[in-house]
Amino acid sequence: MPDYEILKTMAEECGFTHSAPLAVSTLDFMQEVRDMCNARQCNKYNTSWSCPPACGSLQEMRELAAGCSSGILVQTVGEIEDSYDWEGIKDTEKRHKENFGRLLYSLERGLISVIAMGAGACKLCQSCTYPDAPCRFPDRMTVSMEACGLLVSKVCTDNGLAYNYGPGRIAFTSCFLLRDQIKARLNSQD
């Protein structure tokens, strides 16, 4: 699977600690997961172009994913003292978002077109323009896996990647789906 090996190397170079090939056929865009994005459970709801209700319907996500047949799951696993170590959790989240941005940039620079699904709301700008002005970077804005209706633990399990690394460790997970048209171009480099 040479295209995955290329992606894996790129992910490692960008700082991700773990990765696995992603079979797009395993992705289940579930309304009950999307429903967890609501004002009672998440303070990001209705505050960003990358979050519900602005980020697009699950049907639109399904249609986008239908143009992809493979991808990569990526994780940043960090050490924490315990489950109340907010500083350690935030530090790992920050590193994950930096790794995510680096890999997205590397893929785009390599003309590899992807659908990127991140962890949490888009933080590309210090302050999101929502809802007063259009998104500043609609081509780079990323929607979280949860907002896409994906149960992250299930996606990991279905693709052979751990989700829980036990006490003292925290994992943040994201994924990149390769658009089929560009994947062919990547393979032609072999």
Query: Which positions lie near ligand SF4, rule CB under 6 A?
Result: 48-50, 122, 124-125, 128-130, 135-137, 141
**Distances from the Cα of 141 to the Cαs of 51, 66, 136, in angstroms?**
10, 20, 8
Enter the tokens of residue 17.
Answer: 């600690």
Shortest Å distance, C-beta 1 to ligand SF4? 32
Q: Which residues have CB under 8 Å from 67's CB, separation 6+?
A: 179, 180, 181
The answer to whether the beta carbons of residues 22 and 145 sit under 8 Å apart is no
Select 130 or 172, whichever has its Cβ closest to ligand SF4. 130
Shortest Å distance, C-beta 92 to ligand SF4? 21
Select 56 or 110, whichever has its Cβ closest to ligand SF4. 56
Select 29 or 49, whichever has its Cβ closest to ligand SF4. 49
Residue that is written with structure tokens 């032609």 in the block? 188
Select 136 or 185, whichever has its Cβ closest to ligand SF4. 136
120 conformational bin, left if phi > 0, alpha if psi -120 to 50, beta if neither: left
Shortest Å distance, C-beta 100 to ligand SF4? 13
Shortest Å distance, C-beta 172 to ligand SF4? 18
